[in-house]
Structure 1
Amino acid sequence: MSELFALFGGTFDPIHYGHLRPVEALAQQVGLKQVTLLPNNVPPHRPQPQASAAQRVAMLQCAIADRPLFDIDTRELARPTPSWTVDTLEALRAERGAQQPLGFIIGQDSLLTLHKWHRWQDLLTLCHLLVCQRPGYATQLETPAQQQWLNDHLAQNTQQLHHSPAGHIWLADTPLLDISATEIRQRRHHGQSCADLLPDAVIDYIDRAGLYRD
């Protein structure tokens, strides 16, 4: 059995501390040695990114240059089709074999709407779900049936994540950071400071590229 391999998908338009710091806390809690950032190409549930794919990858590279926990997988950017998570997980499962423990990191907001995802019921056959807390979101799922599904799959300890390839949900105790990429884009548009919301290297790149001014 290989060590737990974790992925964290997102638009990252731009990447910010609301992405990085909760995942760093999750990694320490669960015992992750590597987290792979997975930038979306065509996000199915939200508007298209303002920054190009190449710019978003460049911002990720700036953000993780001094963070060895993270690396980047750009496979979804090469697909012209919507970035369905289940398709990516199936490809990774085929590459890494049936016994590789896989974790997919999401926020509490995504957990609440997971039942709207493409083939969502297949996700736990392919991976564990590692859930970071998000401020302002409900802790209970919408219906008793959805809540029962969650309860049935909750991991009781982190060893279950490392010793099985898929099937568990871990509700992580992570920092509640009220930072959004939308807020950052709006602040940039109005010429306001974004210091302390995202790494300085990312701010420097945004300045050089002239992003989020319009």
Structure 2
Amino acid sequence: MSELHALFGGTFDPVHFGHLRPVEALAQQIGLARVLLLPNNVPPHRPQPEASSTQRLEMLRCAIRDRPLFDIDTRELRRETPSWTVATLEELRAERGPQQPLGFIIGQDSLLSLSGWHRWQDLLSLCHLLVCKRPGYAAEMASPEMQHWLDAHLADAPQQLHQQPAGLIWLADTPLVAISATEIRQRRHQGLSCAHLLPPAVIDYIDQAGLYLK
């Protein structure tokens, strides 16, 4: 069986420690070989980014310069249509073949709202769902039907994620990092320091590019 790789999508406007640290903990916990960051071009579930696609991509490059776990996949930035997760996963599954164990990393907030995603029922045919904790969110699904679906697909041990290509859900015991990109943008608008919220190289780029000013 091939190594377990995972994808982590987001707007990354900007990328910060709340993105990076839980994923690094997840990788150590379950033995992820590589995490592909997937910056969205047209995010379907949230407002449009403040930084441009080029700027968000450059911030990601700055953030992972000394983090060999991560790489970047730019396919969603090249799309003119909304960044539907299931379409990206179908492309990657076709490229990597049916036997490559593939995970998609989401936060607990996304798991709770998964039934609103485009073709969400198809996700587990393409990947495992790897769920990172998020502060302030409920531990159970909103409906009994969704809770039953979750319970039916839970993995008992990390080894299972390596032994089959898709179909399982892993609820990761990752650190709760209460940082949001919205908070960072607001702090920048107010002229406040963000030194403890994102990597120094990203802050340097934000300063040079004049991003997130009033």
Give, in whole Å, the separation in 2 of the partners of 1:99 and 1:35: 18
Q: How does 1:131-170 map to 2 (within 5 A)?
A: 131-170=131-170
Give the fraction of aligned pairs with identical amino acids, expressed as a percent. 77
Superposed CA deviations along residues 125-151 of structure 1, whole A, max 9, x for unmatched, are 000000000000001000011001000
How far did 1:16 drift? 0.2
- The answer on 1:51 being equivalent to 2:51 is yes
Matched, 1:63 2:44: no
Measure, in 1, the Cα distance between the counterparts of 2:141 and 2:206. 37
TM-score (ref. length: structure 2):
0.99
Structure 1 residue 15 and structure 2 residue 15: aligned? Answer: yes
Q: Report deviation, 1:5.
A: 1.3
TM-fit CA distance, 1:14: 0.2
Distance in 2 of aligned mates of 1:161 and 1:94: 19
- Aligned position for 1:199: 199
Q: Could you list the per-position Cα deviations for residues 170-201 of structure 1 after superposition, in whole angstroms to 9, with x for gaps in the alignment?
A: 00000001100000000000000001100011
Aligned to 2:2: 2
How much has 1:33 moved relative to structure 2?
Answer: 1.7
**TM-score in terms of structure 1 length:** 0.99
Q: After superposition, what is the alpha-carbon deviation per residue over 1:35-78, rounded to whole angstroms, capped at 9, x for unaligned?
A: 11000010000000000000000000000000011000000000
1: distance between equivalents of 2:148 and 2:204?
A: 46
d(CA) in 1 for partners of 2:175 and 2:55?
Answer: 27
The answer for unaligned runs of 5 or more in structure 2 is: none
Tell me what 1:87 maps to: 87
Q: CA RMSD in A?
A: 0.5
Distance 1:36 1:14 in 2: 17
SS in structure 1 opposite 2:9? Answer: strand
What is the distance in 2 between the residues matched to 1:2 and 1:161?
Answer: 11
SS at match of 1:8: strand
- Per-residue CA deviation, residues 65-114 of structure 1 (Å, 9 max, x unaligned), is 00011000000000100000000000001001111111000000000000
Return 5+ residue gaps in structure 1 as ranges. none
Aligned partner of residue 185 in structure 2, secondary structure: helix
Number of the residue aligned with 1:107:
107
- Partner residue, 2:24: 24
Distance in 1 (alpha carbons) for counterparts of 2:160 and 2:51: 38
Match of 1:29, as an amino acid?
Q
